[in-house]
Structure 1
Amino acid sequence: MKFSRLVALSLLTFSSFSMAKAIQGTNYQSPYCGCCGAWVEHMEENGFDLDVVKTAEMTPIKIKLGLQPELASCHTAQIDGYTFEGHVPAEDIKRFLAEKPQRMIGLTVPGMPIGSPGMEQGDTKQAFEVLAFDKNGRTMVWSRYNQ
């Protein structure tokens, strides 16, 4: 009797875990970029469900979402009203969404550092920072990866 209760509890726990709602969002990306798709895969593996919009007109989207040119990368995601630019690790986005820091409108990894999610190149990894930014383009370091 104890064993069957344990099995039932385990199945119930697994069902609850597997039915957890994914975090919804939209990722805007160039139709010609392969690393953007790899980043979306990273996000899906970490509990996100992103609609992908492929467009060659990325600059107007970035401007509309308040992204300064020096903070830009290749793709731009909109999740829960916030902007996430480039190869931001999923764990940083989850923390940002949980903390909702005042005056910050998103996170960015400027450029395309090798070793960031979606930019994996074997064992080669560059150090990079994830920056939180506000609507005026002011930034603060959100996290550092000293790979």
Structure 2
Amino acid sequence: MSIKRNIAVLAMLFSVSVSATDVEEQQLTVLKDPNCGCCEKWLQALPDSFSVSVQHPNNLTQRKRDSGISAEVQSCHTAISSNGYVFEGHVPPTLVSHYLAGKKSENGIGLTVPGMPVGSVGMEMGTRFQPYTVYEIKKDGSITPYKQIASLEQQQALSNGGL
């Protein structure tokens, strides 16, 4: 009887582990200009747990506005999760994952890295690095600092999954 019980427990653990893996996969739709190389580098940095589709809309700026991203905080590409959160520009993929895991404010709609800071994910230029801030975008359009990236070493630690 204990063998049957052990088999049942193992079967239950296996099914829980399969469902946990299914839950971890995130779907992102990335809106970008077809000629942007830094966007491609950012896409390559996303973890394998993301299922990504890419679109090249003619009305990219309008789509950003429609998603709640004001002109002041726009960058070159926009990722929209299957549950409607937005990630504008060179947001470190680790922070995208944390945000989608629930590490956000109650009225947040996503994260942005305005502009294209040198050294951010997709904008690597050797050892050159420009400190930057990742901001959380709120439902009312306001932004608040989410994470300051102060050094190349901190950027590299984020790229390796650390915070």
Aligning the two structures, in what range does the TM-score lie when normalised by the shorter sequence? 0.7 to 0.9
Deviation at 1:90, TM superposition (A): 1.0
Instruction: Name the counterpart of 1:30.
Output: 33
Residue 111 of structure 1 pairs with residue 115 of structure 2: yes
CA distance in 1, matches of 2:148, 2:29: 25
Q: Aligned-pair distance for 1:73?
A: 0.2
Contact in 2 for aligned 1:31/1:55 (Cα 8 Å): no
CA contact (8 A) 1:31 1:56 kept: no
Determine which of 55, 78, 100 is the counterpart of 1:76.
78
Alpha carbons 1:131, 1:142 under 8 Å: kept: yes
The 5-angstrom pairing of residues 33-44 of structure 1 reads: 33-43=36-46
Q: Could you tell me which amino acid in structure 2 is paired with residue 64 of structure 1?
A: D
Distance 2:77 2:119 in 1: 16
Identity within the alignment, %? 38
| 1:46–1:90 CA contact under 8 A, matched in 2 | no
1:20 alignment partner, SS class: helix
Runs ≥4 residues deviating over 3 A: none
Question: 1:50: how far off?
Answer: 1.1
TM-score (norm 2): 0.74
Determine the structure 1 residue equivalent to 2:95: 92
SS at match of 2:101: helix
Flag the structure with higher strand content. 1
> Is it true that 1:124 corresponds to 2:125 in the alignment?
no
Which consecutive unaligned segments of at least 5 residues does structure 2 have?
Answer: 1-13, 152-163
Give the letter aligned to residue 23 of structure 1.
Answer: Q
Q: How many correspondences in the alignment? A: 131
TM-score, normalised on structure 1? 0.82
What is the root-mean-square deviation in Å for CA atoms of aligned residues? Answer: 1.9
Q: Deviations over 1:101-120 (max 9, x none)?
A: 21111100000001111111
Counterpart AA for 1:65: S
Give 1:121 deviation, angstroms. Answer: 0.8
- CA drift of 1:81 comes to 1.1
